[in-house]
Amino acid sequence: MDEEIVGLSSMATRPILAELSEWIGRVHGLPVRFVPAGGVEVARRVREGAAGDVLVLAEDALAALAAEGLVRAGTVRPLWVSQVVAAVPEGSPVPTLDTQEALRDALLTARRIAFSTGPSGAAVLYLIDRQGLAEALRDRLVQTPPGVPAGTLLASGEADLAFQQHSELMDLPGVRVVGPLPGDAGISTTFAGAVLTASARPGPARRVLDLLAADEAAETARARGMRAAAHRPTGR
């Protein structure tokens, strides 16, 4: 059997990549394994020289690593787009989030609001600030540690409203996904892939990346709460 291709990824793409890794190995004969962690942690590991072949991260975080020469030129490509959704504890009243006014009411009514680190967490904080609620909600905001889904605080009773990538909330026990945020309040993140400069097997790593961008992979992503990203040249 060929030597295993090792990938590094953020937690949001963990369920997709686990399923696709099995498919790539079974159907295409390429053994591949992804090691997930919080996006900030993954970027730190790459900068510190972590071994690996393929990297899947939020597009902005990956672009920063590309600018530092840590991924191979010409290999960066968008893969999937994920929406940030709101969630509440299973069995609790479900807020209506069809307008920005309804979202504002839900924020002001919540006792504790959980959000994650990484790009989705930063976007939620920006949204709250843009709505003029930063001061009113300051003592009610709870940020989870890197790699910990915000939904775990719903299940434990430590929060009654949470925001995070759909893929990280949709299968958690004790959690009910309410839906995406309305209108201009909507938050989405594009996840991209690239071959690491440190990869000793850039050829097979590129093939894995090609398969992650294939139509079959898009079906898996859709089932896991994401959609395929439109391919566009990156110039990197």
Give pLDDT tens digits for 56-88. 999 999 999 999 999 999 999 999 999 999 999
Average of pLDDT values for 182-197? 93
Q: Which region, left, alpha or beta, applies to residue 14 given φ > 0 means left and ψ of -120 to 50 means alpha?
A: alpha
| pLDDT tens-place string over residues 8-24 | 999 889 999 999 999 99
Tokens linked to 23: 């498919």
pLDDT tens sequence across 96-118 = 899 999 999 999 999 999 998 87
Are 158 and 142 in contact by the 8 Å Cβ rule? The answer is: yes
Distance, CA of 44 to CA of 9 (rounded, Å): 12
Please give the model's pTM, rounded to 2 decimal places: 0.82
What percentage of residues in the chain have a pLDDT greater than 90? 73
Q: Are 162 and 114 in contact (CB under 8 A)?
A: yes
- Can you give the pLDDT at residue 140? 96
**Percent residues over pLDDT 70 in the chain:** 97
Report the pLDDT value the prediction gives residue 234, as an integer from 0 to 100: 39
